[in-house]
Amino acid sequence: TEMPPYVTKCPSNGLCSRLPPDCMTCNTNFSCIYGKPATFDCKIKPYVHCVDQNSIEQENFTINMTCQFCWQLPTTDYVCTNSTSCMTVSCPRQRYNATCTVRDHIHCLGNRVFPKMLYCNWTGGYKWSTALALSITLGGFGADRFYLGQWREGLGKLFSFGGLGIWTLIDVLLIAVGYVGPADGSLYI
């Protein structure tokens, strides 16, 4: 006999309440009140084996969860795609369209894959402490701007000796408060 494709996602002899949604069929609870705890009657699909807390094999079981849609879950209950093309240091702060997927053991109402607008928050690996240290020690030679990927400003500081020290002092302040960041638009580590 051929096994259905969902069987590969279903752990054998695990807790029924922790099975991914692909492994079970649940009845809709129409008396579910939004934001309140609700109970759903579920049945495992064929070829799936699960147990209750006493290690007794089950076919029918109940799931207790909060009555809410998947897109309303806390951010720890789903995983979203990241964007490395949006600018994190812009005003107003940029957002991007992410596709989010609910984690397997979390139960919720509605679509388990949903779009969400998220703030840009990626990092290119630049450390704020390194940028500040370079600005204080070698800022007159443009080392801080070279480190951040701003090579034009780095050349300007190098050939003007840090704007005769004025540009260097200003850059120390701007990097210290986080106003000057990496050229790729990412956040500091």
pLDDT greater than 70 at residue 1: no
pLDDT for 87 equals 67
Q: Where are the alpha helices (DSSP H) in 80-179?
A: 128-138, 143-147, 151-159, 161-164, 166-176
Span 130-148, mean pLDDT?
94
pLDDT for 125 equals 81
pLDDT confidence of 3, banded at 50, 70, 90? confident
**How much of the chain exceeds pLDDT 70, in percent?**
95
Q: What is the pLDDT of residues 61-109, one digit of tens each?
A: 888 888 999 999 998 999 998 876 776 666 677 788 899 999 988 888 8
pLDDT greater than 80 at residue 122: no
> Can you tell me the distance from the alpha carbon of 170 to that of 21, in angstroms, rounded to the nearest whole number?
56
Q: Which of 67-71, 132-136, 171-175 has the lowest mean pLDDT?
A: 67-71
pLDDT for 154 equals 93
Structure tokens at 90: 């812009």
